[in-house]
Structure 1
């Protein structure tokens, strides 16, 4: 149809032509509004890179068996471990049920009480954390059921009492999710790989910086001897003290203000039991064992300068302070633990002048 292209072009160009004709007579067009300014963002510090911990190396295959409550008559050749294998119950639990003490001597003809329960038999290299995750329960619940004590080293063939199938079936979704959340006491009590029955933990390696980490198949030995004295890891102001705060929250250590990159010192001689970033709340985290009883923790580091199994000296720089984890300014989260129990560091650190 003649003429349609021209009309179409007019309708397309018309509004633009008209707008060009109605510009203000008293001056040039007003300048366009500037683009919106970008809003400032809070920088998020990236946690330091660390080697995989033992509980992420050895996969655990569930092998739980049930034992029935009853008695067992000891026969020639029996040991407590052999009775455990025959009945399915843990040897440590059998010893507790019968008031046996080390070296756990049993006699032919003796009748032993056998506790009922659901038991996992530990395999070489397994950690408590990995065992708990294989069954979908919290490691601290297993540690409590088995009355575990320092130095928290599992042994190949050992049987661990698990929560009952009924208890596990009754767990809520929140409780199941919590089984995979880690805390510092989990690392202390369930972070080391199981050893053979008479195998000893590895001795600390060199104090030199950047020492190669101890293989994840070897357990860390506690440092000896330990003087029982701690020094300040940094000297900033206390941002948050030990104990409860807010609505139902608790600080298991103290938070000390620090400059970004400031050296963090070991509070006492010891051996590094953990150096990594697996606990998101703490960012870069180091745990140092000072004996079978005492452990210190150092969190929110921007750089880790020591490795698992490395010996350290009091005052040695082990990390650089930062703001990794759930904090918004550079600081050090510092804990002192007696066993797995946190204590107020201010009661053990020198008084400031």
Structure 2
């Protein structure tokens, strides 16, 4: 079949248009794309947010303030500074005593107390001053009556000598112990009569471990007020902390049962707990003495055993 000659111009026209479209498409494909204009606001024009500083940062390093470290709780801070954790919470107006952050700076002295004076007082280990021994006096013994014929000397009853009892000297007070803090004059008592199985080492052992049987009585080492009774301090188990004055406190750890409550006044020798093995591997009493929060050797503070 032959195509009429009259239709060839139309076919040429269609083929020419298609060829032009192909060239146009290729040209547009080869043309580099137009640059994109970034109309978003420049990040450099946005002001940088100021770095958030922990509460109380302005007091860091000042006397009478404590910077919170990882793992700290108010209970531990109270033990380390010799204060009642409730007082620390109140002095810093904490709404939740469990919410403190690393780097936060807390006041650890009373607002009415000058922190510089507290810091200027030397931290020394309290010791027991030797008491003067009272002189021993002996009453004169009456002479025996002379022997007579009726009463031979051999049969005459001798007058027994009068035994003299030494009079204990009073405890040395602040005036008699120059250079000592008045708060060091505490009437101490050992909290348990068992043997010491771990001695004081300052860093690894901040007190002494006293062995005993489960349920043995744990006694208050001196008069004072219970500032903590619970198990919220890791590594101490069932713990009691007693504050004896503005300087000294004692801690009694690993108990089986606690027999006192917080804010309760206790007397020297009062049973405050029963010995146990809470948060430890054996039955024992871990006992600490702290002066201004610094651990001291109980053997150098309590009476000789």
Provide the TM-score with structure 1 as the length reference.
Answer: 0.41
The structure with more radius of gyration: 2
